[in-house]
Amino acid sequence: MIFGRNRNVKTETVVLPEELQDPRDQLATEPEAEASGPFDIADRPDADGYLDLGSLRIPVVKDMKVRLDLEDTTKRLIGVTLQLGQSSLQVQAFAAPRAGGIWDEIRAEILESVTVTEGAQVGEQEGQFGTEVVARIPAKMPDGSPGWRVARFVGVDGPRWFLRGVIGGEAAFKAEAVGPVNELFSRIVVRRGDDPHPPRELLPLTPPENMRPVRQPGQAGQAGESAETGSSGPAGSPQPTGRSEAPTIVDPRQRPPERGPEVTEVR
């Protein structure tokens, strides 16, 4: 005698109509969804397949270019910019209070800061990582015609850390380019460490041995560049205005420069 709801006749499986199926059967057969990051180091301790930058572990992705941002005045590393195709992703990790996250207040600061630029458009939208900010700044194209510089600001609150991403290039305004950059951001691992840091202070970055330091004068503000990106404001506040505090809002029509891994000096 055969027991169970789904009975087998010879080698053929009888599939019950949907209205007769037990919900418990559906739950048992559905594949478990993979957890989405970014992740804390406690949840992703394995460093295989990652570029170790101290407070950040960056997944190694085919054809991805990596640039570290070096602050001119202090000579410290303040961020990492990842180039993937015609899109860029600049990431920074900050200390956050134990009691709660800071993305809500940072997002409000970004909205307020961008609106002071004449003709700028800024708003919020829901994305893979929750509420994000999209900013459009009037800019001239290389041929002198009017255009826009576009960026998406995403943020994730973790255990005593906050990770901010600034997405430029095609992934800021083309739906078909969003997926790979979002996937890259979702795989980043943050190592907060046990050292005391006040809220909004940048978590320290360390360069890998195979990075080559270079100086790129006169390139600040180019599309895909991380010069001017990620320098912190007071107490490490990631703010979107001011030359040394603003993530560059990338001109989506200009092709990013082709360069290999390097350290870019922020001026």
23 versus 80: which is more confidently predicted? Answer: 80
pTM of the model: 0.70
Closest CA to 64 of 264, 263, 258, 266: 258
* Residue 11 maps to a domain: no
Tens of pLDDT, residue by residue over 185-221, are 999 999 999 998 999 999 999 988 766 655 554 443 3
Q: Does residue 147 lie within any of the structural domains?
A: yes
pLDDT band at 18 (very low <50, low <70, confident <90, very high): low
- Of 250 and 207, more confident: 207
Half-sphere exposure of 118 toward its Cβ, with a 13 Å CA cutoff? 0
In a domain, 114, yes or no: yes
pLDDT value at 222 more than 70? no
Q: Which amino acid makes up residue 174?
A: K
- pLDDT over threshold 50, residue 157: yes
The per-residue pLDDT for 209 is 74
Q: Which residue would you say has higher pLDDT here, 70 or 205?
A: 205
Has residue 34 been placed in a domain?
A: no
Residue 143 lies in a domain: yes
* Ramachandran area for residue 265 (φ above 0: left; ψ -120 to 50: alpha; else beta): beta
DSSP E strands in 142-242: the ranges are 146-158, 161-169, 189-190
169 falls in which pLDDT band (50, 70, 90)?
A: very high
The answer to whether position 180 is within a domain reads: yes
Number of domains in the chain: 1
Percent of the chain with pLDDT over 70: 65
Structural domain contains residue 31 = no
Q: Is 210 part of any domain?
A: yes
Find the domain containing 68 and state its range. Answer: 39-266
